[in-house]
Structure 1
Amino acid sequence: MKRFALALAACIAALPALAGDVTFTEVRYAGDDGGPAVAPTQYRNPIVAGFYPDPSAIRVGDDFYLVTSTFGYFPGLPIFRSRDLVSWHQIGNAIDRPGQLNYANDELTRGLFAASISHHDGTFYIANTCFYCDGGNFIVTAKDPAGPWSDPVWLGFEGIDPSLFFDDDGSAWMVNNGMPEGKLRYDGHRAIWLQQFDVATKKMVGPRKVLVDGGVDPASKPEHVEGPHLFKRDGWYYLTAAEGGTGEQHAQMIWRSRQVAGPYEPWSGNPVLTQRDLDPARANPVTSTGHAQFIELKDGSWWAVFLATRPYRGNQYNLGRETFLLPVTWRDGWPVILPRGERVPMVLARPALPRDPQLVPTSGAFEWTERFTAGKLPPQWMTIHPPKQAWFATGADGLQVKPSSTPLGGHGSGGGQPAYLAHRLQHHRATLTATLAPYQPVAGELVGLALFQNETHHYVVGVEQGEHGAAVALYRRANKDEPATGKRQASMDLPSSDKPVSLRFQLDGPRLDVFYAVEPGQWKPLATELDASLLSTDVAGGFIGATFGPYAFRP
């Protein structure tokens, strides 16, 4: 985020403090999804709540590093550090410069897919796919994982989910999901490929080879074998990958070989992790487990990070896919994350590591307030694609935003960039509040707080020009055929435009209530018992999580 701020600094300095535009003085967040109490010797799953999917983690000395997917958001690929595998601190973003790569003006569910992080001889590597971008698969490198990271080096091979493995002799090998050799035998038929990577030239060398065609049991037509990683233990090379797609049929598989290039044999006890066989009517389910990566601690114990979801009803969840952690046990030379038929525990014993203090919680109940007075945004905040010009600034007065003529629903269809600063929603039960400094809205303008799943599914509560002056209004977009600005659901005249206005979304699973206040603490309902499930991927489609934050539209 530091380089992101520097990259925009010249443009921001050229603006007259964004004079005449809107100012947000603060954003508040409070979330609590309940669950069992956590003792000092325990931790809670997920370890990183909210839209942090496809986790990849490694150990370097006493430190652990984690990276997750971001798709069409910028900055991309957040980098976390921890010393206890439980308490994670975001230290930067690998894609943090607007010119680092071209996202193209495409849907939010495109962009930066599953990344993998690795380390060798003092250099950190992230392999990633920019889906629908020019180039496809790439590598970025850094000496310091907090950044700066290099510009992408494009690798030129087909497929997604690349992962780089360094062998004991220093050779490097890339595995990834790709199309199989020959004709597709069924929908979702994919393969895991291997090719050597030359560290000196940062190029792929030698032949590409299929390690897995289809999955563990090709006769069962397993779908979308993906997210592969290689690791080594006791002279065995282990290949792990997920099958079944990234939904409820997700399952993690394991193979092994004495040679890095195979042949690889699957374990007879596969999968090593899944929740797909459990009763779908169970209370407080965790679903869609998979996309795991294994980590060895200094003491020889093993753990695994993986993605999973926490539905509130059926397969509906607004948070996207989250990052979980479980210990690994070994059975006759095979790793098991969770025995078949067992539920993912939400609370369990911490790793045998010194506790790492955490200033910004990433799990459990927490709350925070952001007043935007620092010279740069905290690294958790994002925009939809990289800004092409400066339209926001932080400082002593708060967050200044220059409204965009592109509404939230106008992105991805050849339009420009919405003026929207996004933070991930991290609880199903949460209260989101933004305070807008006094200003006089112009005709057609809407400025306020957005709650956003994607271009076609979102809510906005904001201040607009009504029939009798300033008014607070709620807009909703629930499908692609509705106006890009959404449809007005409720409106209420404001007594004046010379006072700050606070706007609030209150979420409880599938329920959404909306409030506003012109006097501190005097909340008035604008709309209640709305359907929050339209923010779920089950309704909206795709595979990202909901975000929220300041938004400003001016036609």
Structure 2
Amino acid sequence: MIRKLLIANMLLMAVSVGASGSGEGAKASFDYFTYTGDDDYYRQNPLADKASFYNPIIPGFHPDPAICRVGDDYWLVNSTFGYFPGVPLYHSRDLVNWTLVGNVLNRPSQLPALAGQDVGKGGIYAPNISFDPQTGTYYMLTTDVGRGHFYVTTKNPMNNDWSDPVWLPAIDGIDPAFFFDDDSKAYIIYKESTEGQPKWSNHRCLRIARFDRATGQTTGAPVKFREAGVGPEERLARNEGPHIYKIDGKYYIICAEGGTGIFHSEVAYRADSVFGPYTRWSRNPMLTQRELKAGRTNPVTCTGHADIVQTPNGEWWAVFLGCRPGPGGVEQLGRETFLMPVNWSLDGFPYITQEKDTVPLMLRRNGTERREGVTFGNFTWRDDFDGRHAGPEWLSLLGPADAYASMVGGRLDIVPDEVLPQDRRTPPMLLRRIQHHKFTAETKLDFLPYPGAQAGMAVFKNEQRYYRFGLRRGMIVVERSDKGRSTSTIASVGVDSETKSVMLRTKCLGDNYEFSFSTDGGATWQTAAKGVDASFVSQRAGGFTGTMIGLYAYRQYL
């Protein structure tokens, strides 16, 4: 008992010393954060005119795009898996200029089951956004793989006031999507395991269920659509991400196939009735890059999981996911959102690419004018933390970081805590998406660490794969996550033990990182570590998310 009291008193003294020395208590205080993209492709290939744009239209970790149009407004959402808040909501009037207006799932009551899940493989899969013209209601329908399907609703997406979730216990699987027919009937299509023993790896099927607006639930027995894939062999299967459309009196289903890797594709079916029978297009897939040579310049790979939308003037466009491997094959960006026009075959099927068509990195959309502040190309993003809350770009793990992070007086304060990402709880860490192969991120930190405490910048892929670059008492450290809850030190540089103001800079050169710091307000910079392997935090680590960068604080109880 006496020993415990002595240890407790020593910890209190340590905190008191840190507080009196820093003038900010136990908080790590960040003055700003900047992110600047510097990809070679954008510098070497400038856009020709204001009607041109780069693909991906929304770069970085933005997988599984879904889109809808109401009047002149386009709305787009993406998967977020184990991140909070969930499901970014983008708005556009022309498909080229997009604005992040918020996140659909921005309250803990909307994501009650995230804690304990895998950040990169759990959580929110393949959201769908739809508008019901009969009730004037927007629906965002998705799957939390830790609990099941649910939807939230709003009358105006700009208000960021989506409802609490309505769960759909009668249907299973993943990737649900609404379809509101012009006869006022409503349906949900989704991917589910087939009955009995699977016949092959990834043996799945699609089902269509009726939706009753009065009860807010599905009704009746779902109808099985299809089990086998369409090519290059029947067992390619894994049909997922399905959508239903009614076009010129015909019903179309498009869905992804072939998994999320390089065999990914999109296929199309057509029928006279919503429940079929459906005929597959003879020239499927309607989108893929799997037939192209692996060593091509500036490749786009893994394309699929598409959604299509019609413009007011009758054009059809598609959004879909794809990947861009970086230098040396190091891929940190994750699955990104691309935009391309939809063509129609002579026999009446939609397609995006055929045979060995490549997904272009530059396109034009006539009649549009690219504005400043677009989501694509090289750009600089800066946050001076002058709001009341963190902006919609910032994400935390498995729940809100409000217990640790606050914004006061133009600064972001993060309170150190012992929780680590490996614990599958929410640590004191805020992250934003990496959106370029090459970039520089910078911040200014005010913090006098007490024993066991540190704060700084983090490069994060998943619970077991991240770098920390920060200030300890009298030391700048670069650390790598290790097995269990441990970390290994890559580099350390001594600084004055009273150093409490430091600028930190993280630079990615494509396949490696360089970490540098300044203790004199940026007049001089010193390298803490360079040539740090980027593949450690790349897609080689697995999972469905891209790499993130941001800010953290941590304390180890001694």
TM-score normalized by the length of structure 2: 0.91
CA 1:267–1:78: 2 relative to 1, 3 Å: same
What residue identity is the alignment partner of 2:78?
Answer: T
Question: 1:159–1:179: 8 Å Cα contact kept in structure 2?
Answer: yes
CA 1:365–1:389: 2 relative to 1, 3 Å: closer
Residue 430 of structure 1 pairs with residue 452 of structure 2? no
Question: 1:18–1:400: 8 Å Cα contact kept in structure 2?
Answer: no
What residue in structure 1 maps to residue 117 of structure 2? 106
What residue in structure 1 maps to residue 534 of structure 2? 532
Question: 1:492–1:526: 8 Å Cα contact kept in structure 2?
Answer: yes
Secondary structure of 2:198's partner?
Answer: coil
Quote how far apart the aligned CAs of 1:389 are: 5.3
Quote how far apart the aligned CAs of 1:19 are: 4.5
Residue 455 of structure 1 pairs with residue 463 of structure 2? yes
Residue 65 of structure 1 pairs with residue 72 of structure 2? no
> Of the candidates 32, 36, 40, which is equivalent to residue 34 of structure 1?
40
> Of the candidates 287, 293, 307, which is equivalent to residue 293 of structure 1?
307
Quote how far apart the aligned CAs of 1:537 are: 1.5
Greater CA deviation, 156-165 or 138-147? 138-147
What residue identity is the alignment partner of 1:119?
Answer: F
Quote how far apart the aligned CAs of 1:101 are: 2.6
Alpha-carbon distance in structure 2 between the residues aligned to 1:38 and 1:107 = 40
Alpha-carbon distance in structure 2 between the residues aligned to 1:218 and 1:514 = 46
What residue in structure 2 maps to residue 516 of structure 1? 517
Question: 1:127–1:164: 8 Å Cα contact kept in structure 2?
Answer: yes
Quote how far apart the aligned CAs of 1:87 are: 1.2
Residue 116 of structure 1 pairs with residue 124 of structure 2? no
Q: Structure 2, unaligned stretches of length 5 or more? A: 1-22
What residue identity is the alignment partner of 2:150?
Answer: F
CA 1:314–1:114: 2 relative to 1, 3 Å: farther
What residue in structure 1 maps to residue 549 of structure 2? 548
Matches within 5 A, 1:243-258: 243-258=257-272
Alpha-carbon distance in structure 2 between the residues aligned to 1:26 and 1:497 = 22
What residue in structure 1 maps to residue 61 of structure 2? 51
What residue in structure 1 maps to residue 487 of structure 2? 486
What residue in structure 2 maps to residue 473 of structure 1? 477
Secondary structure of 1:501's partner?
Answer: strand
Secondary structure of 1:497's partner?
Answer: coil
Residue 176 of structure 1 pairs with residue 190 of structure 2? yes
CA 1:325–1:521: 2 relative to 1, 3 Å: farther
What residue identity is the alignment partner of 1:346?
Answer: L
> Of the candidates 239, 253, 256, which is equivalent to residue 225 of structure 1?
239
Secondary structure of 1:248's partner?
Answer: coil
Question: 2:401–2:427: 8 Å Cα contact kept in structure 1?
Answer: no
What residue in structure 2 maps to residue 85 of structure 1? 95
Greater CA radius of gyration, 1 or 2? 2
Alpha-carbon distance in structure 2 between the residues aligned to 1:119 and 1:197 = 14
Quote how far apart the aligned CAs of 1:214 are: 2.2
What residue identity is the alignment partner of 1:230?
Answer: I
Matches within 5 A, 1:157-196: 157-196=171-210
Q: Structure 1, unaligned stretches of length 5 or more? A: 1-16
What residue in structure 1 maps to residue 407 of structure 2? 394
Quote how far apart the aligned CAs of 1:345 are: 0.4
What residue in structure 1 maps to residue 287 of structure 2? 273
CA 1:345–1:389: 2 relative to 1, 3 Å: closer
What residue in structure 2 maps to residue 9 of structure 1? none
Alpha-carbon distance in structure 2 between the residues aligned to 1:223 and 1:31 = 38
What residue in structure 2 maps to residue 418 of structure 1? 427
Identity %: 39
Quote how far apart the aligned CAs of 1:18 are: 8.1
Residues 150-180 of structure 1, C-alpha deviations (whole Å, 9 max, x = no match): 1111111110000001101111110011111
Question: 1:404–1:417: 8 Å Cα contact kept in structure 2?
Answer: no
Quote how far apart the aligned CAs of 1:368 are: 2.0
What residue in structure 2 maps to residue 329 of structure 1? 343
Alpha-carbon distance in structure 2 between the residues aligned to 1:84 and 1:386 = 33
Greater CA deviation, 381-390 or 143-152? 381-390
What residue identity is the alignment partner of 2:229?
Answer: G
What residue in structure 2 maps to residue 442 of structure 1? 450
Quote how far apart the aligned CAs of 1:388 are: 7.2
Residues 45-92 of structure 1, C-alpha deviations (whole Å, 9 max, x = no match): 000010111000111100100000001110101111001101111112
Alpha-carbon distance in structure 2 between the residues aligned to 1:417 and 1:41 = 43
What residue identity is the alignment partner of 1:164?
Answer: F
Quote how far apart the aligned CAs of 1:183 are: 2.4
What residue in structure 2 maps to residue 3 of structure 1? none
Secondary structure of 2:476's partner?
Answer: strand
Secondary structure of 2:40's partner?
Answer: coil
Secondary structure of 1:114's partner?
Answer: strand
Secondary structure of 1:339's partner?
Answer: coil
Quote how far apart the aligned CAs of 1:100 are: 2.0
Quote how far apart the aligned CAs of 1:499 are: 4.8
Residues 385-428 of structure 1, C-alpha deviations (whole Å, 9 max, x = no match): 223752111121400111121123x332xxx4210001111111
> Of the candidates 297, 311, 334, which is equivalent to residue 283 of structure 1?
297
Question: 1:215–1:225: 8 Å Cα contact kept in structure 2?
Answer: yes
Question: 1:407–1:485: 8 Å Cα contact kept in structure 2?
Answer: no
Residues 354-390 of structure 1, C-alpha deviations (whole Å, 9 max, x = no match): 436454x311000122121211111111111223752
Question: 1:432–1:504: 8 Å Cα contact kept in structure 2?
Answer: yes
Residues 306-346 of structure 1, C-alpha deviations (whole Å, 9 max, x = no match): 00000015653101100000001101201110122011100
What residue identity is the alignment partner of 2:38?
Answer: D
Quote how far apart the aligned CAs of 1:227 are: 0.4
What CA RMSD, in Å, does the superposition of the two structures yield over aligned residues? 1.7
What residue in structure 2 maps to residue 14 of structure 1? none
Residues 193-244 of structure 1, C-alpha deviations (whole Å, 9 max, x = no match): 1011112221001221111112225963013110000111111100000111
